[in-house]
Structure formats: C-alpha cells, structure tokens
C-alpha cells in the first residue's frame, strides 16, 4: 500500500497587502512557495536560509572536476605523481566557507 501525503484541506485566509508581501518575500528567500512557508512557520518549524551556499557549492563542484581530470590523467599514464597542493588549499577554503555559513545558522 502506497501512503500519500496529499493536501486535502483548503483554507481561505485574508492578509493585509503589506503582510502578504513580507511573507511572500520570506518564502521566496527560503525558496519555498507561499503555502509551504506559512505551513512550516505555523507549525513552529524553523526555516533556515543559508546565503552564500551557491558560491561554495560551485567551488566544490569545480574541485570535483579537477580531481576527476587528475584521476583520468593518472589512469591514462600521462602523469604519475600529481601535485595536489592546490586542490588541498581549495578544499581548505571550502571547509572554511562552510564553517562560516554554519556559524551564521546558529
């Protein structure tokens, strides 16, 4: 038996235009739709917005590509002992950024 979590209850709410805009902006910032944001907030669940994460993930993705390229070259026999110092430095920077972001979430 497949359990579904369908929304079956419709509720009409009225908001002041200014309140609606503020809530909508918060929902957009959290990358949630209006209903998800209001429901999450009303249930007392914490909504955490992490700014700067896109840049960190982009950097981490680039590092992964670099490692894959080095691995391919090693497997092809084109290089035997790659210098990973730059990769280690990049990784340390990513870890530092993630630590800073985590600190903002507390």
For the segment 28-75, what is each residue's pLDDT rounded down to a tens digit?
Answer: 999 899 999 999 999 999 888 877 778 878 888 888 888 888 888 888
**What is the extent of the structural domain holding 90?**
53-105
Number of C-alpha atoms within 13 angstroms, CB side, residue 100? 11
Highest mean pLDDT: which range of 9-23, 65-79, 90-104:
9-23
Q: Enter the tokens of residue 6.
A: 């369908």
Mean pLDDT across the stretch 1-8? 71
34 and 7 share a domain?
yes
23 and 36 share a domain?
yes
For the entire predicted model, the pTM comes to 0.53
d(CA 59, CA 101): 14
59 and 41 share a domain?
no
65 and 91 share a domain?
yes
6 and 41 share a domain?
yes
- Tell me the helices (H) and strands (E) count for the chain, helix number first: 4, 0
Mean pLDDT across the stretch 92-98? 82
When divided into structural domains, the chain yields a total of: 2
Q: Enter the tokens of residue 56.
A: 């960190």
Tell me what percent of the residues of the chain surpass a pLDDT of 90: 26
Place of tokens 């503020």: 22
Q: Answer whether 58's CB lies under 8 Å from 17's CB.
A: no
């Amino acid at each position: 038996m497949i359990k579904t979590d369908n929304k079956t209850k419709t509720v009409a709410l009225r908001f002041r235009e200014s309140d609606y805009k503020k809530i909508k902006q918060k929902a957009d910032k959290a990358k949630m739709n209006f209903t998800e944001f209001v429901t999450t907030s009303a249930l007392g669940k914490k909504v955490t917005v992490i700014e700067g994460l896109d840049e960190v993930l982009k950097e981490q993705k680039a590092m992964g590509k670099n490692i894959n390229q080095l691995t391919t070259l090693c497997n092809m026999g084109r290089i035997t002992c790659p210098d990973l110092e730059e990769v280690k430095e990049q990784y340390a920077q990513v870890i530092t950024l993630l630590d800073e972001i985590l600190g903002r979430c507390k």
